[in-house]
Each structure stands twice: as C-alpha cells, then as structure tokens.
Structure 1
Amino acid sequence: MLRKALLILSGNAAASLLLFARNLVIARLIAVEDYGIASTFAIAMSVVEMASQLGLQQMIVQAREGEDPHFQAALQGFQVLRGVISGVVLFLAAGLVADFLIIPEVAWAYQVMALVPVLNALQHFDIHRMNRDLRFWPLILTGAVPALLSLAALWPLTVWFGDYRVMLFALIVQAAIATITSHATAERPYRLVLDRQIMARSLAFGWPLLINGFLLFAVFQGDKLIVGRELGMAPLAIFSMGVTLTLTPTLVLGKSAQNFFLPQLGRLATSRDEDPAPFATVAQAMLQATLLSSCLLVLAILLLGPMLVTVALGDKYAELIPLLALFAVQQGLRSFRTGPNVIALSGGHTVNAMLSNAVRVASLPLAWWVIARGGSIASLLTIAVIAEILGFVVAMAMAQRSLSLSFRPSWPAIALSALIILAVGVTVVSPGLATLGLWASAILFVPLLWSMKEFRHNIRAAA
C-alpha cells in the first residue's frame, strides 16, 4: 500500500512539476505583461469548467456500479455533452471575458481556447475506473505525458510567436495529448451513451459539486480577476506567479490524497453501520496526513521559494519574494480542508466542500473593496488567510456532522499544525523574527509527528 501511495504522489508530482516548469519557462521567455495576459487563459477555462463540473470522474470511483460498462459509457456520454456545451459557452463569451479584463484585442484567443473543454471531455474514463482497484498508472501517464510534451513544445512555439500565444497553444497541445493518452492506456472500448436515468443520477450526485465549481472558480480565479482588473496585467503576472509557486504543490498533495484515500474510504463507508471503526481510523489517518503535508509545504516554500524566484525568474519578479510567506500560509491553510472534504465525499456527501468554499468566496467582496481603495496584494492575501481559517472550521464541522464522526484523536495534530502556521505567520508580521519563526516551525514537527497515532499506524501497516 505504501508503494501505491508513493506512486500516486510521485506521479502527480511529476506532472505538476512539468507544468510548473512550463509556466516558469514561459514567464522567463516573455514579457511580464504578456505573462499576465497568458495567466488569464486559466481564468477563461475556469469560467466554463465551473459551469459543468459534475464530479463524474469521482462518481465512477465512488459508485457501486462503477465497473458496469453501460454505466461508464453513460458517464462518458454525459461528459462529452457537457464538454461541447462548455466549448460553445466559452466561444460565445470570449468577447465579454476580454472586455471585462480590459484586453479586448485578446478575444480571439479565448475563442481558440474553446477547443480545450471539448478535448478534455473526450478522455476515456478507464483511467478513473481503474483507480477502484488501486491501478493508478493510466491516470498518472495521462497527466505526465501531456505535461512533458507541452513543455517540449515551448521552443518551437516561442520561435513562432514569442508572446502570450505560447501559453495558448501549449494548453491546446496538453489537452490533445491527454485525450490521446487516456485512450492509449484504456482497457475497454470507448463507448458513448446518453442515458437519462444515469444523467439524472449524475446531476443529483453532482449538483453540489457544480455549485462548488462556481465557488472554486471564485476561490482560484476571483483574486486574479480583482488584481487584473484593478491593478493591471503586470501586477497580475506577479500575483499569478505567486499562486503558481504555492498552489502547484498544494494541488499535488490534494489530488494524491484523494486518489489514494478515496477508494479505501469509499469501500469502508459501505460497512460503517456494521463496524464504524475501520472507516474512522482511515479517516483520522487521512486528516493527519493532510495536516502534515500542508505544514511541510508551507515550510518548504518559505525556505526555497525566494531562491527559486531569483534563479528561475530573475529580477523582473523580485516583487514576489516578500509576498511568498503569505502565499504559503494561505495555500497551506487551504490544503487543510482537503482532509475533511475528501472524507465527507467518500460517504457521498458532496455538499461539504461547497460550503467550506462558500466561506472563502464570501471574503472576495471585501478584498475587492480594499484593492479598489488603494490596498495592496498583501492586504488581499491577509483577507484570504482569515477566510481559509474559517473555511477549515466549517469543513471540519460539516464532516463530523454528516458522518457522525469524531475527530477528537486528531485534535492534538490540528493544534500543533496551527502553531506551525502561526510561527510562519510571525515571519510575515515581523521579518526580524524570521529565524525564530523558522526554528519554531521546524521544532514543532517532532511533536506533530508523535501526535499522529493513526497516520503512523497506517504507514507501518502499509510498509
């Protein structure tokens, strides 16, 4: 089991590292303002993805009939339908998106981006179905191979274009190769079925995830929209790179935790009525693993981030270095929520993530008001940190309530994780205490590991 966990983590990390390298290379090769424009392509994609996110990939893993070929074909058919609709929506909304960001000359690029949701929707669901048996290689290859070829495509794209169009066509290459790879690694023939009953069930399962898609758009892209519209493309480039540096490892950890624990928790959830102990034990281990990885993430960004910015990006991104600690704290706190949300999802409770994200979204009007009145990126990040703390509290409360599950065994780990984040926060408030904050964070890792009884037991059992 430990080998499976390491495989997932290394596979997801490899794909994300390649995409991270791609973004760094693009940022290095093109002007700061052009990178700001390039970062808006992610915003445009999120606009359509948020409106069609139904969690079909999670459903084939979680549902009891996930192995049924007809069920899979119906999910694939529904996925293609939503992908085509998403592409049409993006094509028609391209002008509105460009006008809102005050870059009307880029509208054509958003229209070209309409190909991406269609290509993504054509992926074969075998890469997700095989996760039920803890077979992760197809999913890993579908992430890593497109990322590698997208990175390799940068040289000819830079020679041909040399501006924000490099990112545009790199994204299209990535989407096309991902779809091809998913079919190349599949075991079953690819079939599409439009089954009204399964579509209705998918909507019943996915409507909280659909709403959560809107909320995730606001969480991931709302701050960027505020910065881009109020401060301009150059500050947006700085902010987007800060998000890239800190969000990339956060997503790796979150995706790896979900890939590894969701199939286990899903199986144990079906027998909770007879014997709730195994589910509760794995749930505690999952929460503790999330806390540990989040704290390691924050400390790593604080230690290595400034050097990475200097070496990889040069002087034109020097303004980012003083903000890295705030970015790290925000993303670390956001990663805390992965634990309770995945645990709730394993029991079929998809509303939990939606409600915890709603807390974060509620902070955006305040952030916009502050920025519009002369506030800085640091002010925006401070508001985000407070909202992430409240979101974690809501996620924990909802998971306990929906599953009748007590997280008491993990309270010491939660308290120590909070102290580590607080110690890192000291480096933001008082730069003169940076060394003290770093040492305090490092020392607290010893009792943190000791407090994670269920996590340590899970690791020993996996070994």
Structure 2
Amino acid sequence: MLRTALLIVTGNASASALLLARNLLLARLIPVADYGVAATFAMIMAVIEMTSTLGLQQQIVQSKRGDEPDFQAALQGFQLLRGGLGALALLVLAGPIAQFLGIPQAASAYRWLALVPLFNALQHFDIHRAQRAGRYRPLILTGTLPALVAFIAVWPLALIFNDWRAALWAILLYAALGALTSHFVAERPYRPRLDGPVMRESLRFGMPLLANAALMYLVFQGDKIIVGRLAGMEELAIFAMGMTLTLTPSLIGAKSVQNLFLPKLSSAHGRDDEAEHRRFAAATFEGMFLTGSTLLLGTLLVGPIVVVAVLGEKYASLLPLLIPFALLNTIRAIKNGPSTVALSAGQTDNGLWGNVPRIAVLPLSYWALVQTGSMLPVIWLGIIGELAGLALALWRLSKVMALPEVNRAALTTVFTILSVLVLAYLPSPGSSGILVTWIGALVLVAAQFAGLTNLRSFFSRDPMPLA
C-alpha cells in the first residue's frame, strides 16, 4: 500500500510542482502588474469550471456502473456538452469581465481562454475509470506531461511577449496537451454520446457538488476579486502568489489522500462493511491532518527562502503574510477529510455546508480591506471562516455516520499549529533563532507522526498491486 501511496503522491506532486514552477518562473520574468493580470486568467477559468462542475469524474470512480462502456460514453458526452457551453459563455462575457476588473486590454485574452473548457471537456474518462482498479498512472501522466511541456515553454514565451500573454499561451498549451495525453493513455475508444437518463442521474448526483463549486469559487477566488477590484493588479499579484505558494502543497496532499482512499471508502460503504469504512475514514482524516501540518512546517522552514531566492525583491511584501496564508490552507486541507468521507457515504453536500462560513466572511473582508488597506485582515478573516466551516462539515458528517476516532492526530495537529505560530513570531533573530526554529520543527514532526496511529496501521498492511 505504501508503494501505491508513493506513486499517487509523487504523480500529484510532480504535476502540481511543475505548475507551481511555471507560475514562479512567470512571476520572475514578467512585471508584477502583468502577473496580476495573469492571475485573473485563473479566476476566469475557475468560474467557467465552477458552472460546469457535476462530479462526472467522481461518478466513474464512485458509481457501481463506472466500468460500463455505455455509462462512460454517456458521461463523456455530457462532459463535452458542458464544456462547449462554458466556452460559449466565456466568449460572450469576455468584454464585461475585463471592464469589471479594470483591465479592458485583457478582453481578447479571455476570448482565447474559451478554448480551455473545450479542451478540458475532450479529456478521455479512462484516466478516471482506471482508479477503480487502483491504476493511477494514466491520470498521473495526463497531469504531469502537459505540465512539463508548459513549464519548458514559459521561458521562450516570456522572451517573446514579456507580459501576461506568456501566461495565456502557457495555459492554452497545457490544456490542449492534457486532452491529447488522456487519449494516448486510454484503453477504450472515445465514443461520447448524449443519454437523457444518465444526464438526469448526473444532475441529481452533481447538483450539490455544483452548489458547492459555486461556494468553492468564492472561497478560492472571492478574496482575489476583492483585492484585484480594490487594490489593483500589483497587490493582486502579491495575494495570488501567497495563495499559490501555500495552496499548491495542500492540494497535492489532499488530492493524493482523496485519490488513495475514496475508492476504498466507496467500496467498503457499498459492501455495508461499517468497520472497514470507519477504519478507512480514520486514515483519511489523519492523511489530511498530515497534509496540513506538513504545509505549515514547510512554510515556516523554507517559505521565506523561496520568496527571496526565486521571486526576488519585488515580492518582499509577501514575507510577513506567508504564515497566515499557510494556516489558512492548512485548515482548508484538514476540511477535506470530512468531505471525502461524506462523499463515499453518499452525502455530496458536506463540502457545500463546510464552505458556507467561509463565504459569510467575504463582506467583512471587503470592509476590512477598505478600512485598513491591508491584506492581512482579509487572510485572518478567511482563517476564522475555515475553522467554522470545518466544525460545520464535521457536524454534517456525524448525521450519516459516527465520526472516526482520531483524537491523538487532532491534538498533535493543534499542537503543531500553535507551536508554529510561536516559532514564527519569536523575537530571536540571527542564527540562534534559526536553530531554535529547526529543532522545534523536528520535534513537531516526531509528535505528528506519533499521533497518526490509523494511517500508520493502514500502510503497514500488505501492499496493493500496481498496474
């Protein structure tokens, strides 16, 4: 099982690390304000993806019919339909969006971005179906190879354009290669078709996920919209980079934990094996705890080094915001635990409820930025919203199953969070402060692993065969 987990983590980490490296290189090569414009591309693509989120990929993994060719073809047809509608919507709305953000020169770029939802919709669903049998290589290759090519292309694109257009063409290249790679690694022919009953079934399954996606858009992009609208493109670039540096590692861990455990959780639930389901649920929770703690410790130890060495002085104002950004995304990663377990038990609205408090603080964030002109209160309000969302997600999960017993892991994670906050703001400059920080971090790592009893027990079992 450890080999399988390492494959998943390595694959997800490789793709995400390459995308992060692409963004860092872009930030280094183009002006800060242009990187702010490039950050709006992700905001625009996120809203298009949000409006078409129906959990079709999760259905291939979760549904008992996931291996049936006709069911897969119907899902692929529905995916293609929604991708085409998303592309059309972006073509129509490109101008108004650019005017709202105060960058009318980017309207043509938004029209080109309409190709991205179409490319994404053309991906072959075999890469998701393979997960049912514990085969993750097709999915990993589809993410990693396009990310590598897009990263390599950034340098010449930046030399040619030296502005936000370099980001635009890197995004288009990544999306197009993703579609091509998914077909290259597929086993079945690509035969999309429209099937009314399957579409209705998908809508019933996906409507809570769609509602949650709308909330997730506001969770991930709401603060950026506020910052970009009120503070301008340079401040948006700083805020977006802080989110990127801390969100990417948490997404790697959370996605890897979900890829590993969701098929097992769904299988145990389908067999009505409550004891096995609870065991996998406990391991899932602990995997998310580990993801959050690793992010926080990594940011404490190497975050400032990355900002100074890679991004340079033009991003120096990001340094005091790193730990708050990391704490925000640590809690967000932990919140994936109850939502993943709930999804396996058929409760698709858990993530939706977990995001409600996060959205509720956005008006306060707007007010705080207007009053203070600082991004720090915006981040701390987000942290408060994430904590409330975690509590609500746990409460919702308790309605469909008894919560897993993960007391030791939860306590060690809380201890890690509090200790990192102390270490980050110790008034001990110089080499002595660095030594104290590293020793403290090593102690926290040991304590964290000692609390992961269910996760360690899971990996001590016989490994799952790889295909």
Q: TM-score, normalising length from structure 2? A: 0.95
Please state how far the C-alpha of 1:155 moved relative to its aligned partner: 2.7
Determine helix, strand or coil for the equivalent of 2:217: helix
- Per the alignment, residue 420 of structure 1 pairs with 416
Instruction: Give, in whole Å, the separation in 1 of the partners of 2:440 and 2:300.
Output: 13
Q: How many corresponding residue pairs?
A: 459
- Per the alignment, residue 76 of structure 1 pairs with 76
- Does 1:405 pair with 2:402? yes
Please state how far the C-alpha of 1:427 moved relative to its aligned partner: 4.7
- Per the alignment, residue 391 of structure 1 pairs with 389
Determine helix, strand or coil for the equivalent of 1:326: helix
Q: 1:3-14 maps to which residues of 2 (within 5 A)?
A: 3-14=3-14
- Per the alignment, residue 152 of structure 2 pairs with 152
Instruction: Give, in whole Å, the separation in 1 of the partners of 2:317 and 2:341.
Output: 38
Instruction: Give, in whole Å, the separation in 1 of the partners of 2:199 and 2:110.
Output: 29
Please state how far the C-alpha of 1:406 moved relative to its aligned partner: 2.6
Instruction: Give, in whole Å, the separation in 2 of the partners of 1:97 and 1:438.
Output: 46
- Per the alignment, residue 330 of structure 1 pairs with 328
Q: Provide Cα deviations, 1:177-235, integer angstroms capped at 9, x if missing partner.
A: 00000000000000111111000000000001101111111011111111111111111
- In structure 2, relative to structure 1, the CA distance for the partners of 1:303 and 1:241 (3 Å cut) is same
- Per the alignment, residue 139 of structure 1 pairs with 139
Instruction: Give, in whole Å, the separation in 1 of the partners of 2:444 and 2:285.
Output: 18
Instruction: Give, in whole Å, the separation in 1 of the partners of 2:425 and 2:6.
Output: 36
Determine helix, strand or coil for the equivalent of 2:399: helix
Contact 2:397 2:403 in 1 (8 A): no
Contact 1:329 1:424 in 2 (8 A): no
Please state how far the C-alpha of 1:440 moved relative to its aligned partner: 4.8
Q: Provide Cα deviations, 1:71-90, integer angstroms capped at 9, x if missing partner.
A: 00000000000000011111
Determine helix, strand or coil for the equivalent of 1:238: helix
Instruction: Give, in whole Å, the separation in 2 of the partners of 1:374 and 1:400.
Output: 40
Please state how far the C-alpha of 1:58 moved relative to its aligned partner: 0.5
Please state how far the C-alpha of 1:452 moved relative to its aligned partner: 2.5
- In structure 2, relative to structure 1, the CA distance for the partners of 1:414 and 1:193 (3 Å cut) is same
Instruction: Give, in whole Å, the separation in 2 of the partners of 1:367 and 1:428.
Output: 24
Q: Provide Cα deviations, 1:29-60, integer angstroms capped at 9, x if missing partner.
A: 10000000001000010111111100100011
Out of 315, 339, 342, the residue aligned to residue 340 of structure 2 is: 342
Instruction: Give, in whole Å, the separation in 1 of the partners of 2:445 and 2:119.
Output: 44
Q: Which runs of 5+ in 1 are unaligned?
A: none
Please, which moves more after superposition, 428-437 or 122-131?
428-437
- In structure 2, relative to structure 1, the CA distance for the partners of 1:16 and 1:37 (3 Å cut) is same
- In structure 2, relative to structure 1, the CA distance for the partners of 1:172 and 1:447 (3 Å cut) is same
Instruction: Give, in whole Å, the separation in 2 of the partners of 1:383 and 1:441.
Output: 26
Contact 2:291 2:334 in 1 (8 A): no
Determine helix, strand or coil for the equivalent of 1:337: helix
Q: Provide Cα deviations, 1:112-169, integer angstroms capped at 9, x if missing partner.
A: 1001001100000000000000101110000001001111111331232111000001
Out of 314, 327, 344, the residue aligned to residue 316 of structure 1 is: 314
Instruction: Give, in whole Å, the separation in 1 of the partners of 2:448 and 2:42.
Output: 36
- Per the alignment, residue 43 of structure 1 pairs with 43
Contact 2:358 2:382 in 1 (8 A): yes
Instruction: Give, in whole Å, the separation in 2 of the partners of 1:252 and 1:359.
Output: 24
- Per the alignment, residue 161 of structure 1 pairs with 161
Please state how far the C-alpha of 1:395 moved relative to its aligned partner: 1.5
Contact 2:300 2:424 in 1 (8 A): no
Determine helix, strand or coil for the equivalent of 2:66: coil
Please state how far the C-alpha of 1:347 moved relative to its aligned partner: 1.4
Determine helix, strand or coil for the equivalent of 1:350: coil
- Per the alignment, residue 261 of structure 2 pairs with 261
Instruction: Give, in whole Å, the separation in 2 of the partners of 1:230 and 1:430.
Output: 33
Q: Provide Cα deviations, 1:7-35, integer angstroms capped at 9, x if missing partner.
A: 01000100111111111111111000000
Specify the code of the residue in structure 2 equivalent to 1:60.
I
Contact 2:28 2:310 in 1 (8 A): yes
- Identity fraction in percent: 46
Contact 2:12 2:256 in 1 (8 A): yes
- In structure 2, relative to structure 1, the CA distance for the partners of 1:426 and 1:100 (3 Å cut) is farther
Instruction: Give, in whole Å, the separation in 2 of the partners of 1:161 and 1:93.
Output: 25
- In structure 2, relative to structure 1, the CA distance for the partners of 1:327 and 1:385 (3 Å cut) is same
- Does 1:193 pair with 2:193? yes
Instruction: Give, in whole Å, the separation in 2 of the partners of 1:422 and 1:77.
Output: 49
Q: Provide Cα deviations, 1:418-451, integer angstroms capped at 9, x if missing partner.
A: 1211222335666559776775554244343223
Please, which moves more after superposition, 360-369 or 424-433?
424-433
Contact 1:150 1:174 in 2 (8 A): yes
Determine helix, strand or coil for the equivalent of 1:188: coil
Contact 1:26 1:167 in 2 (8 A): yes
Out of 272, 279, 301, the residue aligned to residue 277 of structure 2 is: 279
Instruction: Give, in whole Å, the separation in 2 of the partners of 1:362 and 1:382.
Output: 14
Please state how far the C-alpha of 1:263 moved relative to its aligned partner: 0.7
Q: 1:154-303 maps to which residues of 2 (within 5 A)?
A: 154-272=154-272, 275-303=273-301
Contact 1:326 1:428 in 2 (8 A): no
Instruction: Give, in whole Å, the separation in 2 of the partners of 1:207 and 1:94.
Output: 26
Contact 2:87 2:118 in 1 (8 A): yes
Instruction: Give, in whole Å, the separation in 1 of the partners of 2:53 and 2:427.
Output: 42
Please state how far the C-alpha of 1:375 moved relative to its aligned partner: 3.8
- In structure 2, relative to structure 1, the CA distance for the partners of 1:22 and 1:146 (3 Å cut) is same
Q: TM-score, normalising length from structure 1? A: 0.96
Contact 1:266 1:347 in 2 (8 A): yes
Contact 2:416 2:448 in 1 (8 A): no
Out of 348, 355, 364, the residue aligned to residue 353 of structure 2 is: 355
- In structure 2, relative to structure 1, the CA distance for the partners of 1:428 and 1:302 (3 Å cut) is closer
RMSD: 1.6
Specify the code of the residue in structure 2 equivalent to 1:330.
L
Q: Which runs of 5+ in 2 are unaligned?
A: none
Q: Provide Cα deviations, 1:333-378, integer angstroms capped at 9, x if missing partner.
A: 1100111111111112110011101221111111011112224111
Please state how far the C-alpha of 1:314 moved relative to its aligned partner: 0.8
Instruction: Give, in whole Å, the separation in 2 of the partners of 1:244 and 1:131.
Output: 27
